[in-house]
Amino acid sequence: MEDCLFCKIIRKELPANVVYEDDLIIAFDDINPKAPVHTLVIPKEHFSSLNDITEAQHALMGYILLKIQMIADKKGIAESGYRIVLNTASDAGQDVFHIHFHLLGGRRMTWPPG
Ligand code: 5GP
Ligand code: ZN
């Protein structure tokens, strides 16, 4: 059993505002939102980062993107726009080592990112 913050959320050992859940993934609002909509979408299987993803997960990765599209619609930001962020390792500022897709929206984003 993984001693991992997001695995604990998956196991309901820690509370979270869950916006979507099925057998493969769970989506919950970020505890420290950086935009009016800031939802984290994660696979239930533990992978530390994108660097641990292999060909065996290619369908899972596509599935997550389709569910993000659905959640963006549910959150009302599909038309106004949104950004997906997948921080990987230290230069990107990854803090939690369970792969997670940030879904950000509800405000104008700047480019390039900081
Ligand atoms: P990272 O910097 O690893 O890409 O993003 C980790 C994200 O997880 C951050 O945006 C942070 O606010 C969020 N986070 C950290 N701990 C918790 C928690 O206990 N609950 C929730 N919902 N989000 C968390
Ligand atoms: Zn985990």
Q: Is the Cβ atom of 23 under 6 angstroms away from ligand 1?
A: no
* pLDDT tens, residue order, the chain (114 aa): 789 999 999 999 999 999 999 999 999 999 999 999 999 999 999 999 999 999 999 999 999 999 999 999 999 999 999 999 999 999 999 999 999 999 999 999 999 998
Q: Is the Cβ atom of 55 under 6 angstroms away from ligand 1?
A: no
Q: Is the Cβ atom of 31 under 6 angstroms away from ligand 1?
A: yes
Enter the pTM of the model.
0.98
Residue whose CA lies nearest to ligand 1 atom number 20: 31
Assess if CATH 3.30.428.10 describes domain 5-105: yes
Contact 65, 57 (CB under 8 A): no
Ligand 1: atom nearest CA of 86 is 4
CA 7, 13, 14, 20 dihedral sign is: positive
Phi, psi of 85 (to 5 degrees): -125, 135
Whether 100 is catalytic is yes
pLDDT at position 15, please?
A: 98
State the Rg of the chain over Cα.
14
Please pick, among 38, 98, 100, 102, the residue that the annotation labels catalytic: 100
Rounded to whole angstroms, the Cα distance separating 87 from 67 reads 19
Q: Is the Cβ atom of 95 under 6 angstroms away from ligand 1?
A: yes
Ligand lying closest to the C-alpha of residue 101: 1
